[in-house]
Amino acid sequence: MHIPGAGTEEIAVLTFDEALERSGRSGGYDPEKWLYVPDFYTEYRYILGTRGARPLICVGVNPSTAAPDDLDATLKSVSRIAASNGFDSFVMLNVYAQRATRPGDMERTRNELLHRENLAAFAYVLAHAGDSPAVWAAWGNIIEMRGWLRDCVLDMVSLGDRYGARWYTAGKRSVRGHPHHPLYLKKDTPLDPFDAREYCLECL
């Protein structure tokens, strides 16, 4: 089980561009199939997904232990639901890029560098996902774990607007209006249109 060994302020964090430029060099997985940034296991992860022309972009809260060819239960569900909804690939990003198996172990204070570079990763994926990229909001009630996560979501929604993103949810939203987490969804769960801007105003 991964528990953060250090706060992200205490380690050397690669910018997204630096990590992307190095991606595929570490070996151990097929870079023609997988997009993995950074491409080695560390305290943070910007992107994990498969390559394709029409990806479903899934946004969770924070990454855990998954890696290429070693998906956790959440990523396996994301992959199945992407395929059942007609997408040829999936890309997993998160509202915050720090790895923590238990969301309660996320750092108490947002690392501004990590947040900025996470947005750069989101922009990269949006720019390479074709017209009107499909973004699946999938962070669950965990979004309430840290007060500053709200601002992270707002920044991602604003960035999505610049690329004409179409937002979706899958499964029933919570009593508080938050999107359902990917776990425990049936593999053929359909995607439902989601007004991310209205959600930010009413639920966050």
DSSP type of residue 21: H
Counting Cβ atoms within 10 Å, is residue 46 exposed (0-12), middle (13-18) or buried (19+)? buried
Query: What integer pLDDT is reported at residue 2 of this predicted model?
Result: 78
| Vertex 62: Cα angle to 61 and 63 (nearest 5) | 135
Would residue 184 be called left, alpha or beta, if left means φ above 0 and alpha means ψ between -120 and 50 degrees?
A: left
Helix axis angle for 149-162 and 112-127, nearest 10°, is 30
Distance CA 88, CA 158 (A): 26
Residue 185, burial from CB neighbour count under 10 angstroms (0-12, 13-18, 19+): middle
Q: Note the pLDDT of residue 61.
A: 97
Indicate whether 24 pLDDT > 70: yes
Residue 125 to residue 48: CA distance in whole angstroms: 11
Question: Looking at the predicted structure, is the pLDDT value of residue 1 above 80?
Answer: no
pTM of the model: 0.96
Mean pLDDT taken over the chain = 95
How many separate helices (H) and strands (E) can be counted in the chain? 5, 7
- Rounded to an integer, what distance in angstroms lies between the CA atom of residue 35 and that of residue 45? 11
Bridge pairing between strands 47-50 and 191-193: unpaired
Task: Give the pLDDT band (50/70/90) at residue 31.
Answer: very high
Q: Taking residues 91-99, what's their average pLDDT?
A: 98
Average pLDDT over residues 94-114: 95
115-129 residue pLDDT tens: 999 999 999 999 999
Q: What is the pLDDT, as a whole number, of residue 3?
A: 77
Phi, psi of 91 (to 5 degrees): -135, 125
Tell me: pLDDT of 69 over 80: yes
pLDDT at 5 (0 to 100): 83
* Digit-coded pLDDT (tens) for 138-194: 999 999 999 999 999 999 999 999 999 999 999 999 999 999 999 999 999 999 999
Residue written as token pair 């991964």: 2
Q: Could you please report the per-residue DSSP string of 4-18?
A: -SS-GGGS-PPPHHH
Q: Is the confidence at residue 83, as pLDDT, over 80?
A: yes
- The pLDDT value given to residue 162: 97
